[in-house]
Chains A and B, each alone.
Chain A
């Protein structure tokens, strides 16, 4: 009898302990422990550092709520969207998906993202730690379809070991002239090595930054681009000149280096200076992943703004990565509880290492800073940079109109390939006119 009582007591104690422990996790008001066995799907794009950190945070939740398990799907950026599109087609999106500021409008319009407003009202999703500005970035119309997980900003990450060695000071607000000067300085000292990669591929990021430097807020509006042909020509002239003067990688040379994968980025990977760069156009949160790759070569990283004639007008604070609950979720309540955990739980955010950017929940950000810094010293660097950007930036553009994806693939990539040719076939004026005409054509036919 005694034994049974003892067993019972210890069991009760054990149960009490776990529930007390579990209560510590910030999962909102939903009774996750008694929700039964649930497997939640969770998809994100990322890199090695993020994939491991996210798995850690989810495992920690499973340790506390053994009935909740995860079916995770980590991809790189481009595969991620292709995969999610296919999943959307047969309504098998994961319960939770990572989203990007630029694309939430398109996904909300397709009715793939759950409106979280009722959950905020009921208290199941606690957003009291987030500023209203940040919350609003996840709204499309009057629906809250995504919650910002972290804040970042465009950042040029550079090989500080190299610039220190040459005694070069890189200013935090980098002008185009200074960018050019530093690159030439490094090349002169290093036998013509360490050129830069700029403007390549199908990203709207470069021309957007350029357009903002001219005083525009966005590159794209509903009817087409904000740039005139002349202004767009100025953008392509940067590339034509850079290649002609020999300090920018040309189209053929970029094909020879892998720019998509951070671990193989030419800033941190490559045997000889002629295939390497001294800097990478990136976002501030990526410093963690770049640093993980750079450490092997003993490279210390520095951070500054992207090059622009007016960095303060160009630069912006970006509500970086978002989490959304999808309309395909069969357990939206549980998914919202996990979302609440990812946004508000300090331990979760320590495990996430703030790799998606500085947590949007400011009290969590303050709480975890010391811990995360211990794990990853680059975090402090990113935080300091964001503090500078906050005072040296302009408001961000609106989420991109849906037609932009087609412009990226069919116009921007084609023109940047041409502009970066070693022996270019077109002038800056022709490329600029082509950009404006093709973009407006796509926009008006969409």
Chain B
């Protein structure tokens, strides 16, 4: 009785407000707004700009495919930057994943200090992408930096090695990315815990030693996780920016010029006019490349990933 009178007093708005779909909508509103403002609209705009000559200061003018044609036919720096980025992704990503796996295996023991070690090894990943680390890294590898100081103690006579020369410079950046293995490591750790003990016991009874157990039990069961980490880190590598911009600024001779940095330099040049339209075209080419690489990775999945 009292219930029914309550219902009657509810206005249309209140009823609408109390509907489940409304609640869902309201709760997802922050995402929807963010998605529209920071993703969909900017992406649509950049697609439009990529067909324009646009210097930010004056309105964009439509030039059709000119930007894309110039990129593929005339722009030498484009292929150079793309090459550097692919090299970085191809070398850096597997190294990082392997390293993360090794550390995860070492930390997959229940001792008292293991929590402390896990937190410690995760730290570089939290602070890894930051400006401070990039600057620290540069300092460490300078000719009179920490790394050379350590090297000269171990190998007397080896002083002043130029880490920022054309060959080694990219490796300074690769070492930095490998050092940030923490998030992959945590994912490995959690899936290591899910491997049933029975399998190891059965393998032991069959006479498999530690190495055999790793390759025949652990590794196959980890392949879905390896796959996930590989996809994740490959995309990250293609989008890496801070290291190249701050540690080497692309030099020497563009040998560490990441694609994103090249794009940034086009959009926000230190001197002269912005080429925002050109930079937008570069961004869309990168989107296609990343999609393609990810597609190929997924294609290869059935070949090597063990799905239980």
Q: Which residues of A contact B (CB under 8 A)?
A: 77-78, 81-82, 85-86, 88-89, 103, 106-107, 110, 112, 202, 251-256, 270-272, 274-275, 402-406, 408-410, 414, 417-418, 421
Contacts and interface: CB of A to CB of B under 8 A. Distances in A.
B271 A409 contact: yes
* Most B C-beta atoms less than 10 A away, residue of A255, A402, A417: A255
A255 B247 CA distance: 10
Given A85-B268, A106-B272, A256-B165, A275 B57 contact: no
B129 interface: no
B252 A255 contact: yes
B269 A409 contact: yes
B252 A405 contact: no
Mostly helix, strand, loop or mixed at chain B's interface? loop
Contacts of B55: 110
Mostly helix, strand, loop or mixed at chain A's interface? helix
A89 B165 contact: no
Nearest to B76: A414
B201 to A, nearest CB: 56
23 contacts: A89-B56, A103-B272, A106-B272, A110-B57, A110-B58, A202-B271, A251-B166, A251-B252, A252-B166, A253-B162, A255-B164, A255-B166, A255-B252, A256-B165, A270-B144, A275-B144, A403-B272, A405-B273, A406-B269, A409-B272, A414-B254, A417-B251, A417-B252
Contacts of B165: 252-253, 255-256
A359 B94 CA distance: 59
B95 to A, nearest CB: 23
Contacts of B274: 85
A354 B252 CA distance: 36
Contacts of B254: 414, 417
Contact of B144 (A78, A85, A271, A406): A271
Contacts of A418: 253
A272 B144 contact: yes
Contacts of B251: 251, 254-255, 417
A85 B253 contact: no
Given A106-B57, A251-B166, 20 more contacts: A81-B268, A81-B269, A81-B271, A85-B56, A85-B268, A85-B274, A86-B56, A86-B268, A88-B56, A89-B57, A106-B272, A110-B57, A252-B166, A271-B144, A275-B143, A404-B272, A405-B271, A405-B272, A406-B269, A408-B271
A409 B274 CA distance: 11
A253 B248 CA distance: 12
Contacts of A78: 270-271
A110 B56 CA distance: 9
Given A110-B57, A251-B253, A406 B164 contact: no
A82 B248 CA distance: 19
B252 A202 contact: no
Nearest to A78: B270
